[in-house]
């Protein structure tokens, strides 16, 4: 990899000095909305195509297309790479059943063979997890439906599943692709239901161990505290217990064969893909959830609980406030929180409607000069800028960069997901790591292009975009640093390490 001509300590000291300046001023409330600042917030980062589209059609039409996206069209090379992935070619149930059979077979092997076979199985699972993360990053970089991809990431973090547990690396790609992405801008109730019935969530939060007489409250607690009502949502421990009883019997199928219990309860047993409702493990007694009686009726109880949780005013407040914090980069005012919660309730949890109200608020406009990129935004925005017309097809170097920056996809172990505040991602150690990642991204890196690496062109920025948007946003300290760069690689490194580029 090409190295900066400045010694690393000197180069980093130069960049660190840029962060002593003040933030840019917010645009006046009656000023035209700056396209680049707006795009940096509702997309993964401005690039030449999005900037030109927004200028030509106007921000309102651009935003409307983002809130209500149509079919997507990835670059041919990117679409072909995604289609080649195992997670794109194989049906999830058959894949998981084969992995489970293999795990059982390994358990019967002599110790001399068991270790090698176990390592091979773990390597297979790791590859499936990498495929899921790579597919997600490639879509983030190249999808035209940028808001949907960003909201897919947001909801994946909201309904967080740690891929390192058990065999979840094989499930995580389907969780993102079938449970989260289709509902990322739809009704919250539909999104919530898709996560409740997905095997990744049921396995991660131990609900497959939740049975009548042996109740496991893990999922019920997180479903109320993190996913819907919020920690101050007005529920009590008894509500957690009652919800856990409602969720008994929801689990994950482990083989293609139906369990014996299913044959005894043909009318109630349900299997959809890997999801399985076993009536023999369900508590059929009546429950009292948040002041409402739910009669024992099997799977219908779960649907009733989902309806109740999704429509609760506490959920409206919790979800709306979290969306606002994410897009504002700050705590929304009480007035805005109330307005967004009312929007949620009046539009039946329509996520796009809530976002539309947020994006048209004065607080959103005022926030545009003060956002800060978490590591995923930092890496994806750089790749959108540098490789717009030379699409990369391999995301492994980017996965390594995110690991180094502390925000590896699906990598947070506890269910609250990664922190969304700037303070969590702005330490001196983070800045040092970002400088090294910037050097990697600013260099010609054949590994990003797979088999086409020999023809890979160096990263570059569209001249008009640089001249009219990026250069116009730079402060004196950054300009001075760029003027001292001894090569194009060093100049790009300094630009990607600047406080202006860290803004979102």
276 forms beta bridges with 251, 271
Q: What is the 3-state secondary structure (H, E, C) of 91-145?
A: CHHHHHHHHHHHHHHHHCCCHHHHHHHHHHHHHHHHHHHHHHHHHHHHHHHHCCC
CB 69 within 8 A of CB 185: yes
- In angstroms, the CA 22 to CA 46 distance is 22
Of 304, 157, 318, the C-alpha closest to 224 is 318
Please write the tens of the pLDDT for every residue from 67-113.
999 999 899 999 999 999 999 999 999 999 999 999 999 999 999 89
CB 136 within 8 A of CB 153: yes
pLDDT for 29 equals 46
pLDDT for 70 equals 93
Domain boundaries, the chain: 8-66+371-406+416-502, 68-204, 205-369
Please report where in the chains the tokens 């030379």 appear, as a residue: 390
Please write the tens of the pLDDT for every residue from 450-464.
876 666 678 999 999
pLDDT for 21 equals 42
302 token code pair: 């779960």
Please write the tens of the pLDDT for every residue from 290-328.
999 999 999 999 999 999 999 999 999 999 999 999 999
Segment holding 288, helix H or strand E: strand 287-289
Percent of the chain with pLDDT over 90: 87
Neighbour-count burial for 139-153, b at 16+ CB within 10 Å, e otherwise: bbbbbbbbbbbbbbb
Query: Is 4's pLDDT higher than 50?
Result: no
pLDDT for 22 equals 38
Determine phi and psi for 232, rounding to 5 degrees.
-105, 35
pLDDT for 34 equals 72
- Residue 435's pLDDT band (cuts 50, 70, 90): very high
pLDDT for 370 equals 84
Note the helical H segments in 205-350. Answer: 218-222, 237-246, 260-264, 299-311, 313-328, 334-346
Radius of gyration for the alpha carbons in the chain, expressed in angstroms and rounded: 24
From the number of C-beta atoms within 10 Å of its C-beta (0-12, 13-18, 19+), residue 347 rates as: middle
3-state DSSP assignment of residue 473 = helix
pTM strictly above 0.85: yes
Please write the tens of the pLDDT for every residue from 208-234.
999 999 999 999 999 999 999 999 999
According to DSSP, the β-strands at 287-289 and 292-294 are antiparallel
Percent of the chain with pLDDT over 70: 91
pLDDT for 457 equals 77
Please write the tens of the pLDDT for every residue from 32-53.
557 899 999 999 999 999 999 9
- In angstroms, the CA 348 to CA 357 distance is 14
Query: Is 17's pLDDT higher than 90?
Result: no
């Amino acid at each position: 990899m090409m190295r900066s001509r400045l010694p690393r300590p000197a180069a980093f000291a130069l960049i660190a000095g840029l962060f002593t300046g003040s933030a840019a001023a917010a645009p006046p409330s009656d000023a035209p909305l700056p396209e680049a600042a707006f795009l940096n917030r509702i997309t993964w980062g401005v690039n030449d195509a999005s900037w030109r589209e927004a200028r030509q059609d106007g921000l309102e039409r651009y935003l409307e297309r983002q809130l209500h996206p149509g079919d997507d069209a990835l670059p041919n090379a990117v679409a072909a790479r995604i289609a080649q992935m195992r997670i794109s070619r194989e049906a999830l149930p058959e894949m998981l059943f084969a992995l489970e059979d293999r795990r059982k077979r390994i358990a019967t092997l002599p110790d001399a063979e068991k270790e090698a076979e176990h390592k091979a199985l773990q390597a297979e699972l790791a590859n499936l997890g990498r495929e899921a993360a790579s597919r997600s990053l490639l879509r983030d970089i190249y999808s035209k439906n940028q808001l949907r991809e960003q909201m897919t990431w947001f909801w994946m973090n909201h309904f967080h599943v740690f891929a390192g547990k058990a065999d979840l690396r094989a499930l995580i790609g389907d969780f993102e692709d079938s449970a989260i992405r289709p509902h990322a801008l739809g009704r919250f109730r539909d999104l919530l239901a898709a996560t409740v019935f997905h095997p990744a969530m049921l396995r991660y939060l131990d609900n497959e161990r939740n049975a009548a007489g042996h109740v496991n409250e893990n999922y019920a607690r997180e479903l109320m505290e993190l996913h819907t009502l919020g920690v101050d949502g007005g529920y009590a421990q008894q509500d957690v217990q009652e919800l856990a009883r409602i969720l008994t019997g929801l689990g994950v199928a482990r083989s293609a064969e139906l369990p014996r219990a299913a044959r005894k309860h043909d009318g109630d047993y349900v299997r959809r893909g890997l999801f399985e409702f076993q009536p023999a493990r369900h508590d059929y007694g009546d429950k009292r959830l948040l002041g409402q009686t739910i009669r024992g009726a099997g799977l219908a109880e779960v649907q009733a609980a989902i309806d109740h949780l999704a429509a609760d005013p506490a959920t409206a407040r919790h979800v709306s406030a979290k969306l606002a914090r994410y897009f504002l980069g700050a705590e929304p005012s009480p007035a805005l929180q109330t307005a967004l919660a009312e929007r949620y309730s009046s539009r039946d949890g329509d996520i796009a409607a809530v976002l539309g109200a947020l994006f048209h608020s004065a607080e959103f406009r005022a926030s545009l000069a003060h956002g800060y990129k978490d590591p995923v935004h930092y890496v994806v925005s750089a790749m959108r800028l540098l490789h717009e017309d030379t699409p990369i097809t391999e995301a492994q170097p980017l996965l390594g960069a995110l690991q180094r920056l502390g925000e590896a996809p699906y990598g947070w172990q506890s269910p609250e997901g990664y922190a969304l505040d700037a303070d969590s991602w702005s330490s001196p150690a983070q800045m040092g790591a970002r400088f090294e990642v910037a050097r990697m991204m600013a260099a010609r890196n054949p590994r990003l292009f797979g088999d086409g690496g020999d023809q890979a062109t160096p990263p570059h920025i569209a001249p008009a975009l640089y001249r009219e948007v990026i250069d116009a946003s730079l402060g004196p300290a950054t300009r001075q640093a760029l003027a001292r760069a001894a090569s194009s690689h060093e100049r790009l490194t300094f630009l990607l390490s600047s406080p202006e580029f860290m803004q979102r």
